[in-house]
């Protein structure tokens, strides 16, 4: 992450989920690892935003070894209060706690919890990228959605789709401002456009080493995005062995590139870069590798 | 249950776990079903004791249908208190809550939570069956152990074995009083003695229709019980298609018989009966079926 940030010197960083692997972080201390993961960006004074993946939080699982000697570790209870007995049991760190920690401790973080009514999905929000002419003049909207996984099923709910519809109608009713979408787990549409046997036009990318591991259901968000001409591209992570962009009608479906050293696979690390220009509007993308090499240049808009 | 209770008119009833199937009871209301399950015993004024099975409590699992319209049911939070955010999330009914409810609401219940240091295993306790000569004169000790499952792994922990060792040394140091043991999931020793192709001597029983579904590990309790001559028999449930008793050295390993109408399998319902006499001491057992038939008579002690 340090190398790529030094090479590209970006204005903004997006963490696309699976920032940490908290499946086995049983006690609520995962925030420490989260802080480490964002430190390369933070230490350079670069602002950022994050969404959740399927590894960032998870339900508690009892380790079998706790049932043999030396037994179950002592549990520190917040207070002896019978009406909150569940506060005194082992559990993983919740999405909401991770997000609250990130926001509370980082002035540079643009992450948001999103509307409470979308719980248990947490990282649903929109950021406006403003023109140099002034903050009232939006150049592009960046939408972030929580695609689930970990502590709840891997889906983007109907409620999230409804939220996107209302929000986008409200802030961009005439579809004048281009929109880019970010979440972690590819939707089922990615399976449809996935290249077979290498990567060939119109797809652009370098690795195509595994099947698309898509969300468990398609509950409406893709239908909305596909028929909304202002939406230019969706960016997901999740599959470490995939880094392609493929068009699905007028919408680009892109994978990022596995950047950190956590998680499965030993494909070389890199990061997807987006370059947004205002006049004329364009979105260009490429992948910057840890060893400086740049590949997979693609124009996503206009 | 009503039929068997009327036929046998027992002095005491033991619920051997899987009293309810709470895997999908997502909100904390499983106690209502528990009350229904024990009502045949309660309504006859018969005292009882219970242990937990693997279906009585379980971790919360998000139903997929909550993510499409009409969405996630409104969650009633005990109070808006940020330090207890986990008190306001969906969850199943915990073992401890089920047990507390049973004990608090039933004067006839002899169930106990057991020592707190054995948590998350809950139903670990011993009952003394007293002589007609007086309450100070024990005829037999009934030990109840929580064999896990549901909200935690299917094991009897080293800590539980240690508890049994200390307790039995304390109340029965000279091994003078016979002991009977009750838990839900068969230990691995049951696999060793299981009859093949029917049921033949020295085993006694009527159905042998499936493999023994044993605990996930053997962490010491069986070693203790096997070399303790005062222990006469272990009784388990779990396998609805098994109702045999087989000797393992000098200790009898018995299945009960599937009694209630919950759970898998359509083998005819019945209940294992124990008849304990004081002078001379003996433990006899048989299975009483729903249609009155008695079978599988066996002398378990002396």
Domains of chain A, earliest start first = 2-59+88-301 (3.60.21.10)
* Number of A–B residue contacts, CB under 8 Å: 86
Cα torsion through A12, A18, A21, A22, rounded to 10: 100
B69, B119, B158 member nearest A158 (Cβ) = B69
Asked if residues A283 and A178 have their Cβ atoms less than 8 Å apart, the reply is yes
Residue holding tokens 């922990």? B157
Q: Given CA atoms A101, A106, A112, A116 in this order, what sign does their dihedral have? A: positive
- The string of pLDDT tens digits covering residues B252-288 is 999 999 999 988 999 999 999 999 999 899 999 999 9
Q: What is the edge-to-edge ordering of all strands in the sheet holding B282-289?
A: B270-277, B282-289, B294-301
Is B104 an 8 Å CB contact of chain A? no
Is B224 an 8 Å CB contact of chain A? no
Asked if residues A288 and A274 have their Cβ atoms less than 8 Å apart, the reply is no
Is A101 an 8 Å CB contact of chain B? no
- The string of pLDDT tens digits covering residues B111-169 is 999 998 998 999 999 999 998 888 888 999 999 999 999 989 999 999 999 999 999 99
- The string of pLDDT tens digits covering residues A21-32 is 887 676 667 888
Give the nearest chain B residue to A61 (CA atoms).
B152
Tokens of A260: 């950190």
Is A227 an 8 Å CB contact of chain B? no
Q: Are strands B245-248 and B251-255 parallel, antiparallel or unpaired?
A: antiparallel
Paired strand residues for A299: A284
Tokens of A81: 């209060």
Q: Among A160, A275, A284, which Cα is nearest to A225's?
A: A160
Which chain A residues touch B69 with a CB distance below 8 Å? 158-159
Asked if residues B57 and B92 have their Cβ atoms less than 8 Å apart, the reply is yes
Mean pLDDT, residues A273-288: 96
At residue A94, the pLDDT reads 84
- Given an 8 Å threshold on Cβ–Cβ distance, is B71 in contact with A219? no
Q: How far apart (Å, rounded) are the C-alpha atoms in residues A214 and A268? A: 23
Q: Which helix (H) or strand (E) holds B73?
A: none
Q: What is the phi/psi pair of residue A178, to 5°? A: -65, 155
Give the nearest chain B residue to A63 (CA atoms).
B153
- Given an 8 Å threshold on Cβ–Cβ distance, is A85 in contact with B96? yes
Mean pLDDT, residues A246-261: 95
Q: What is the phi/psi pair of residue B43, to 5°? A: -65, -20
Q: What is the phi/psi pair of residue A86, to 5°? A: -70, -15
- Put simply, the chain B residues between 235 and 264 with a CB less than 8 A from any chain A CB are none
B69, B72, B84 member nearest A87 (Cβ) = B84
Q: What is the phi/psi pair of residue A286, to 5°? A: -155, 175
- The string of pLDDT tens digits covering residues A132-185 is 888 888 999 999 999 999 989 999 999 999 999 999 999 999 999 999 999 999
A64, A72, A157 member nearest B67 (Cβ) = A157
- Given an 8 Å threshold on Cβ–Cβ distance, is A219 in contact with B67? yes
Tell me which of A26, A57, A86, A148 to substitute to probe the interface with B (most B C-beta atoms closer than 10 Å).
A86
At residue B83, the pLDDT reads 45
Buried b or exposed e, range A79-118, using 16+ CB within 10 angstroms: eeeeebebbbbbbbbbbbbbbbbbeeebeebbbbbbbeeb
Asked if residues B144 and B125 have their Cβ atoms less than 8 Å apart, the reply is yes
Tell me which of B76, B78, B86 to substitute to probe the interface with A (most A C-beta atoms closer than 10 Å).
B86
Task: Tell me how close the Cα of A9 comes to any Cα of chain B, in angstroms.
Answer: 38
- Given an 8 Å threshold on Cβ–Cβ distance, is B67 in contact with A120? no
- Given an 8 Å threshold on Cβ–Cβ distance, is B219 in contact with A71? no
Quote the pTM value: 0.85
- Put simply, the chain A residues between 151 and 210 with a CB less than 8 A from any chain B CB are 152-153, 155, 157-159
Give the nearest chain B residue to A156 (CA atoms).
B67
At residue B135, the pLDDT reads 82
Is B85 an 8 Å CB contact of chain A? yes
User: How many C-beta atoms lie closer than 10 Å to residue B134's C-beta?
Assistant: 7
At residue A24, the pLDDT reads 65
Which chain B residues touch A71 with a CB distance below 8 Å? 157-159
* Burial tier of B249 (Cβ tally within 10 Å: 0-12, 13-18, 19+): exposed
């Amino acid at each position: 992450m340090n190398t790529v940030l030094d090479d590209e010197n970006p204005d903004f960083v997006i963490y696309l989920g699976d920032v940490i692997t908290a499946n086995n972080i049983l006690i609520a201390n995962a925030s420490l690892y989260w802080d480490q993961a964002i430190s390369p960006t933070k230490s350079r004074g670069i602002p950022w935003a994050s969404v959740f993946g399927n590894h960032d939080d998870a339900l508690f699982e009892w380790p079998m070894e706790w049932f043999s000697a030396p037994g179950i570790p002592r549990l520190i209870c917040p207070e002896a209060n019978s009406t909150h007995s569940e506060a005194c049991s082992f559990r993983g760190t919740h999405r909401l706690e991770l997000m609250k920690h990130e926001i509370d401790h980082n002035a540079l973080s643009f992450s948001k919890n999103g509307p409470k009514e979308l719980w248990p999905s947490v990282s649903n929000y929109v950021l406006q990228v403003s023109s140099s002419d002034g903050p009232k003049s939006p150049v592009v909207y960046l939408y972030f959605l929580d695609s689930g996984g970990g502590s709840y099923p891997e889906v983007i709910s109907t409620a999230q789709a409804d939220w996107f519809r209302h929000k986008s109608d409200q802030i961009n009713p005439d579809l004048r401002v281009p929109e880019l979408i970010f979440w972690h787990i590819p939707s089922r549409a990615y399976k449809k456009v996935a290249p077979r046997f290498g990567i060939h036009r119109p797809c652009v990318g370098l690795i195509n080493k595994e099947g698309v591991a898509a969300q468990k259901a398609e509950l409406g968000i893709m239908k909305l995005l596909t028929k909304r001409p202002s939406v230019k591209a969706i960016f997901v992570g999740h599959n470490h062995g995939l880094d392609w962009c493929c068009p699905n009608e007028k919408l680009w479906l892109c994978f990022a590139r596995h950047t950190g050293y956590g998680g499965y696979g030993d494909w070389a690390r890199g990061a997807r870069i987006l370059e947004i220009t205002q006049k004329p509007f364009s979105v260009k993308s490429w992948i910057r590798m840890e060893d400086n090499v740049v590949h997979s240049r693609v124009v996503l808009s206009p």
